[in-house]
Amino acid sequence: MTNNRINTDLSGLVSVLKEKDEIKLTEAALMLELSEHETEVLAKKLSDYGILEMRYSLKGHKTLRRGAKISEVKESEKEPHKKHAVSAETQKAVNSMRHMIAEKKGYIIQNTAIPETQKDRTDIDYERQKRLGEIKEGLIAVRENLERIRCTLESDLKKRHETELIHAK
């Protein structure tokens, strides 16, 4: 997701709330052509800064309402593709959201993060080791069963041989 896309998503969400006092999260997601999760992430960040409010119904529906600071977000009518003029606090919220989205999309890798391919490799190696351990345990159980069967067969063979010797006399 590029910065332009993030700006478009944010301004789109703010515009929707300026048009309507209240809207369901699912409707906002459809209007913005985003997933519900992406829309909720944007809404939560805007909620942290008072630009909108999120309300939850008992049935689990999420509703977005205008926040007290939504009026601070001003749209530039002359240049619709430019950033909106916002207060320092609102800009801080926007920058924080951009950073968070970029991290989630994998554009920014934190120093402590393992690159995705190495992380996948580590997961695969762990699963292989786990599976090999299970196979080894299974083989040990099979070996023990074979040993019991061998002992039983030897015992039966010995008894049969003794019985034949007795009948031969």
Judge: domain 3-105, CATH 2.40.33.20. no
Q: How confident is the model at residue 110 (pLDDT cuts 50, 70, 90)?
A: low
Q: What is the DSSP letter of 82?
A: S
| 45-87 pLDDT tens trace | 888 888 889 888 888 888 999 888 887 776 544 334 344 455 7
The total of other beta-carbon atoms located within 10 Å of residue 86's CB is 19
Structure tokens at 28: 């906002």
Whose tokens are 């959201």? That residue is 97
- Report d(CA 20, CA 51) in Å as an integer: 14
- Token representation of residue 24: 């369901």
pLDDT at 27 > cutoff 50: yes
Instruction: Report, as an integer, the average pLDDT of 23-46.
Output: 86
More reliable by pLDDT, 4 or 34: 34
Q: Tell which wins on pLDDT, 102 or 126.
A: 126
Closest C-alpha among 115, 127, 99 to residue 41: 99
* Every domain of the chain and the residues it spans: 3-105, 114-169
- Would you say residue 2 has pLDDT above 60? no
- Nearest-angstrom CA–CA distance, 25 and 146: 63
Percent pLDDT > 90 in the chain is 13
**What is the tens place of the pLDDT at every residue in 4-15?**
455 567 778 888
With beta carbons less than 8 A apart as the criterion, state whether 155 and 147 touch: no
| The model's pTM | 0.42
DSSP state at residue 6: H
- What is the distance between the alpha carbons of residues 79 and 97, in angstroms, rounded to a whole number? 23
